Chains A and B, each alone.
Chain A
Amino acid sequence: MSWETVIGLEIHVQLSTDSKLFSGGSTSFGAEPNTHVDLIDLGLPGVLPVANRGAFHKAIRFGLATNAEINQTSTFDRKNYFYPDLPKGYQITQMALPIVGKGSIKIEVEGQEKIINITRAHLEEDAGKSIHDLFDGETGVDLNRAGTPLLEIVSEPEISNAKEAVAYFKAIRQIVTFLDICDGNMAQGSMRCDVNVSVKKSDAGELGTRAEIKNINSFKFIEKAINFEIDRQIRILEAGDSVIQETRLYDSVKNETRSMRSKEEANDYRYFPCPDLLPVVISDEELIEIKNNLPELPDEKEKRYVKEFDLDSSEAKIIASSKTMANMFEGACAKTDDSKLVANWLVGDISALLNKENIDIDESNLTSENFAALIERISDKTISGKIAKSVLEEIWETGSDVDDIIESKGLVQIQDESLLETIAQKVIDNNPSQVDAFKGGKDKLFGFFVGQVMKETQGKANPQSVNEILKRLLS
């Protein structure tokens, strides 16, 4: 008598083209309201759409990376409904013949691999933004985003639980960032997802009625929303009632989903072929060129890092799994030779800082220049590894130049052997009882002497030199 969950995800990916899907308006994020609006985006009477070929190329990259059918001839349809941020009163989308057909993607959940099939991926234009809480009794409409190209990726209903859903979302995010078709910035809304959830008894043949939870843009919320919804539906069905097919919104504050639209008949979108847009044809030559120029995907990167940079596979996997981290790694390795050191720092200290602040590496002050410079200064022994940690923290805070930091804080490693010897000797002379104890067999006290020398030198002494000198002097 157990319940099975059936989940399908529709992920909207904002393509990183410079201009919009049907106009030359800019797609860059964060502009002043209504400053990136072209006549066409506004839907003024008499304007006409012209399709952006670059958006097609990006969509095709996705298709190729997911082994999908590419429809070299695809068409556009109109989806008709009224909303203030939908200027034309219809959205141009691809219903009948999308650019990308069936494909698949591999996900990993708790060590288990699973293939999730993708039904289709199509191009459509994004709507503008409605701002509800800035103006008393009114809603403000900003059309900057109107017309931005979206790739809507529709999965087969083959996802069985919230964790798989998150893994699928992450896998899609990884692919689109690696393909350079989307910046993957969830906070900016570059990726949003609608989740379709239904439950059924394990022995039931038919699928249950599904509810659609719209517009979730964080991994955490996807998981919570799905789990809440599963419980909600099970409770309804166990009480003998039916689940209503409807659209719901996830409220992250209350951790619940609630019904969104009141009039179901309002959802007749009356799709029909857009008469202003003729079919778009992608030639065989174009397809081959896109294939040949496909950016490297995580699996390929991982293999290459192991081979070319001699990394061990677990490090390679971590670095290769994030586009921004991979870019940082490759950028730094182009500027400094010690790739293994680069890798260690990325996987170690830098990852820790990123996790602590919950940011992506390209939101930090670290650049491949200053990172490489840091590694260089460790390699050439200007600073020790330990000092480098504080230099890293300084870079993290301020983005300052590595050499400037070292100089202003006087962090240059003390390499002068005679100076170190003098200090070491001083420490030994000042601590006779510890010397006796050490010589008497308490080996652990070696650390004490090292510590004292470090204290005297504000941590700047070259650790290896200190070790050698103390070993010699204490023998």
Chain B
Amino acid sequence: MDKKTVSTIAYLSRLSLNEENEDKITEDLKNIIKFVDQLDGADTNNIEPLANPLEKTAKTRTDNVTAKNRKEVFLERSPKSNEDYFLVPRVVE
């Protein structure tokens, strides 16, 4: 967990660390990872990972349209929009 790793992870998460908190957070992350490294000791040979505590399968929906048009409701809650679209700074592909 060095500064470069932290900076890569921060970019992946779209978070910036400034000079003030960069060192502290790097130290915190180092310690937390060291803490969770305890898991290494467990014998997990042939153990199936548990993604959700419910041992059951999914209920699904039938294919039909149930949603109404809520454009106004959604756009009025957005930080920036015009009558039709959510707006963000111009994306260059």
Contact = CB atoms under 8 A, between A and B. Distances in A.
A52 B57 contact: no
A279 B58 CA distance: 6
Interface in B55-71: 56-67, 69-71
A176 to B, nearest CB: 17
A52 B66 CA distance: 12
B39 interface: no
A56 interface: yes
B75 interface: yes
A26 interface: yes
A50 B59 contact: yes
Contacts of B69: 35-36
Contacts of A33: 71, 84-85
Interface string A266-295: 101010010101111100000000000000
A130 B90 CA distance: 10
Given A249-B93, A279-B57, A142 B66 contact: no
B16 to A, nearest CB: 14
A141 B85 contact: yes
Contacts of A135: 82, 85, 87, 90
A138 B89 contact: yes
A67 B67 CA distance: 36
Contacts of B85: 33-34, 131, 134-135, 140-142
A117 B71 CA distance: 44
Q: What is the size category of the interface that chain B forms with chain A?
A: 35 or more
A139 B60 contact: no
A345 to B, nearest CB: 37
B12 A140 contact: no
A101 interface: no
B91 interface: yes
A34 B57 contact: no
Contacts of B49: 273
A296 interface: no
Contacts of A278: 52, 54, 56-58
A270 B60 CA distance: 26
Contacts, number: 129
B93 A260 contact: yes
B52 A275 contact: yes
A82 B62 CA distance: 30
A19 B58 CA distance: 18
Contacts of B91: 84, 130, 132, 139
Contacts of B71: 32-35, 37
Given A51-B60, A53-B60, A278-B52, A24 B65 contact: yes
B67 A140 contact: no
Contacts of A281: 57-58
B60 A26 contact: no
Most buried by B among A24, A55, A281: A24
B80 to A, nearest CB: 8
B74 interface: yes
B14 to A, nearest CB: 6
Contacts of A113: none
B51 interface: yes
Given A265-B12, A278-B57, A19 B63 contact: yes
Nearest to A214: B93
25 contacts: A19-B63, A19-B64, A24-B64, A32-B71, A33-B84, A33-B85, A34-B71, A34-B74, A36-B69, A39-B70, A42-B74, A53-B60, A53-B61, A53-B62, A53-B63, A84-B86, A84-B91, A131-B85, A132-B93, A138-B89, A138-B90, A140-B85, A260-B93, A265-B8, A278-B54
